[in-house]
Structure formats: C-alpha cells, structure tokens
Structure 1
C-alpha cells in the first residue's frame, strides 16, 4: 500500500522516465475526492479511450460525461507518445472490480485470477492511464505510444518499488471490459520489467511542456530555467532576474528569442512553441 503522489512529484517522475508531459488546465486540483477515498494506492491500470484525436480525447477525459463526470483518468497517452495530465486524485476510470485481483496485485502474484466479481472500488486504488485508440482491434498502436505506456507505468512502479505485476489492464479488473484491446498486457508487463531493470533515462533538456503550460499564475522551476537560458542568449528583459512565476517579462523575453530565430508577427508572440523551445535547450531539472 502506498500514499498518493503529489502533483509536482507525479510530473517529475514521468519526465525523469523520459516522457513528454503536458499539464492540462487545472489538472492539479481536478479530482473526485469528494465522492470517495483516494488511496492507499496499489497499482496502475491501463485503458483505451474509444476515441480518436488528441485534443478531443484529452478534453473528454478531463470533463467526462453527464453520467460520468471527469476526470476519467490521471493521464492520457496520445498516439505520438505524449502524456496529458488531466486529474490528480480520485478519478472515474476503474469502477468496481474483483477483490481477488486486487489481492493478487498487492501480492504481485505471478498470475491474475479471473475477474468474475465487481465488489471493490478501483478508483481509490489505481492510477489510470487512458490511451487514445478506438479499441476496435484495427486502430494501430504506434511504437511511440506503446513505449510511452511502458515508461508511464514504469515511472510509477519505480517510485513505489513495485514490479511489473502491479500493472494491469481494465479487462483484467472489471468483468465485461475489453480494454486495452490491440496489444497484450503480458507483453506490456514484459516491457515494463525490462525498463525497470535499467535506470531512468531522463532527458538532458526539458521536453516542451505545451503552449498551454505558459499562462498567468503558472509557477514552475521550468520557467526559471527557461529565463536563465534566455538571459544567456541575450534575450532576457528582466530587471531582477528570472523566477518561477510566468509573467509578461517572461513573455517579452521569449518574444525576443523568437525574433532572434527569425520569427515575426504572430509567430513572435512570446508563447513558446515546439521548434523554438527545442532550439532554446532548457536544461532538464
């Protein structure tokens, strides 16, 4: 059993595993904790979305439905391998599952029993990752996406000292579920085991956190390190020095960097984009 991770630590362990992580809207405080327990945590559950398209899938997993409010998971794994965080706390993803399966996960048993009962609250016990796929057995699973599933699950397991046996699919938890469809959970656990046998290979430079990361009120050491690089590139417009809170001065400094790269007009608006961010080479934290 384990205590849930803080939002900041959750982001950090995913990035340390080498994942491109996007923080979506107010995910850090978005949860269903008022409806039930969140923790102790016992494992990781993998799903497919039965949707296509990153933007619409992430929005759906954040908002949910009228009959099933969001968040519908903690992270959405896109086809390109990027991870979009949509919830921190209890999420509507696992539902009621089999208590025998939960015991096997806790014990990290070599095999799982049949999921023939729905008597245990999985929303309290599992981190959930929704993976964008139609789930029809025809929609492909790109290697970048499979690798991201492997990395995300391994990051959580590594943090808690779990083995790959703490990772299950929704189809192994709740009667009648088929997700994830299109790859084998046993095969995925083999991949996770292999990754856990190696140290995390975090990036040398900070992956692009997404344009939506840069908004009023955002605080992060990423912004400080970005500002320090802008100063090194003679683009800093700071009177005091870069800090962790995103401000108009950060935006003006980044706009100077964009102009240095040859951008102009709306392309030099001070909001980081993938190409300019990659060229800035912000050191990873």
Structure 2
C-alpha cells in the first residue's frame, strides 16, 4: 500500500520515463475525491475506451457516470492526455482475490471472484483508445506508451509489474483491455529491470525533422514539413503525386505515405497513410527550416 503521488510527482515520473504528455485544463484537481477516498493505492488498472473520440468523454463523463473516467487517455499515436488526478470513475467494484494478489504482487487469479472491493480507491486508472472489437489495432507507439506509463507509476512506488492489471482481471463484467495482460506485464517487467531512468527514443537528431505526431497530418494542415516529406517519398519511389508535392496535406500525400509504409512491410491498418514514429524515422525527412 502507498500514499498516492502528488500530481506534480506523477507528472515528473511520466516525463522521466519518456512519456509524451498533453495536460488538459485543471487535470490536477479534476477528480471524484468528494465522493470517497483515493488511496492507499496498490496498483495500476488498464482499460480500453470502446470508442475513438475518447478524451472529451473521459474528461466529462456522462449523466450516468460523471467524469473524470480515468487519469489519462492513451491515444493511438502514443500521446498521453491527462484529464484528471485522484479518485476517478474507472474501476468500480471488483474481486477481493485479485486485490489480494495485487497487494502481494503475486499472479492474478485465473478468473475474478465476486465484486467486493472498490477499485476506484486503490488504483491509478488509464484508458487506452481502442474499439475493443478484436479488429481495431493497438499501434506500436500506443503499446509503448502503455508500457511507459505503467512502468513510471510502478517505478515511483517501488512496485513490480505484478501491480498492473486489466479491468477484465478485476471483474468478470468487463473484457478490457483487448490485449494480453501477461504480455504487457512482461514488457513492463523488462523495462523496470533494464532501466533506471528514462528517456524516450528520440526522433533522429541533427538534420532530420522530428516526428510531429500522427495528429499533425490532418485535412487543411499546411507546413513546409509536408513538402519535405513528399520530396523524400518521391526519392524513395513512393510518390503518388500528379502535382507537387506541396505544403498542404492531401489525399496524394496519404497515398504516397501508405506506399512507403507498405515498402517497409506494414500492412492493413498499419499502412493507412498516416505517418507513425517508426516509419517517419526511417524516412529521414530533412529539416525544413
């Protein structure tokens, strides 16, 4: 058991682990603490959102379940949106057997027991943007953020990866998150064992443009970075332009970038034409200024 980190201490832990953070208005004091205690804390609970337009919903909640619905929302591009801090409406009641396993940092039971413990008291809760239908992918950048966020909290408290559970391990009412929790705990354990302090893998230094984030590439975006990207795609034989490339993001840019992703071996949703960090770093776009 532990006293929760202060908001500033929590933010410092995330940044120390190399997490890319967006702070939303008032997140440090946006919570449900007036409805009950938060703490002592015992672990981290992971969820998926079952939707895509998640940040606003997780900040505000709805009539049946007021927000915040978590501390942070982990977007597809690996950005972590901080929407609250403290007690949040994320966990509900869950298994005493699972709670005891987390407290002992032991393996979680094969199936949750009866709902008996208020998880909103004892867990840091994070929502991961995903439809949860088994088809919606978790991009590498997003899974990396999950690993880093969970490791950051565990490192700050001196916990092991056994302190990280999924909502589906807390109660039989839930199926989230829709990825292997055992596999994620393995990743977190390797990070905790292999790192003493962090820094996120940086985009190529020097003459190359750093990755601006997937959200940069939207209709109407106008930037010399897009021109520089297009020229590199043409050099790599992936240009699909009839005119240009130019500074405004267009369908031709997206088609060209999808060709580059396929060239690198990506397929399906991972070759959708929206730049990700791995493919962007491989492209080595020259700095435009």
Contact kept, 8 Å, 1:18 with 1:200, in 2: the verdict is no
Contact kept, 8 Å, 1:135 with 1:180, in 2: the verdict is yes
Secondary structure of the structure 1 residue equivalent to 2:130 = coil
Matched, 1:37 2:44: no
Residue 78 of structure 1 is matched in structure 2 by: 75
CA RMSD across the alignment: 1.9
CA distance in 1, matches of 2:80, 2:201: 18
Moved over 3 A (4+): none
Alpha-carbon shift at residue 100 of structure 1 (Å): 1.2
Trace 1:26-65 onto structure 2 (pairs within 5 A). Answer: 26-52=26-52, 56-65=53-62
CA distance in 2, matches of 1:30, 1:62: 8
Secondary structure of the structure 2 residue equivalent to 1:192 = helix
Residue 94 of structure 1 is matched in structure 2 by: 91
Alpha-carbon shift at residue 200 of structure 1 (Å): 2.4
Task: Report Cα offsets for 1:193-250 as digits up to 9, x if no partner.
Answer: 0000122222599x99x9xxxxxxxxxxxxxxxxxxxxxxxxxxxxxxxxxxxxxxxx
Corresponding pairs, count: 205
CA distance in 1, matches of 2:200, 2:131: 31
Residue 107 of structure 1 is matched in structure 2 by: 104
Residue of 173, 184, 199 corresponding to 1:188? 184
Gaps of 5+ in 2: 203-209, 214-286
Contact kept, 8 Å, 2:76 with 2:138, in 1: the verdict is yes
CA distance in 2, matches of 1:154, 1:44: 9
Gaps of 5+ in 1: 211-278, 280-285
Residue 122 of structure 1 is matched in structure 2 by: 119
CA change 1:203–1:186 in 2 (3 A) is closer
Residue 165 of structure 1 is matched in structure 2 by: 162
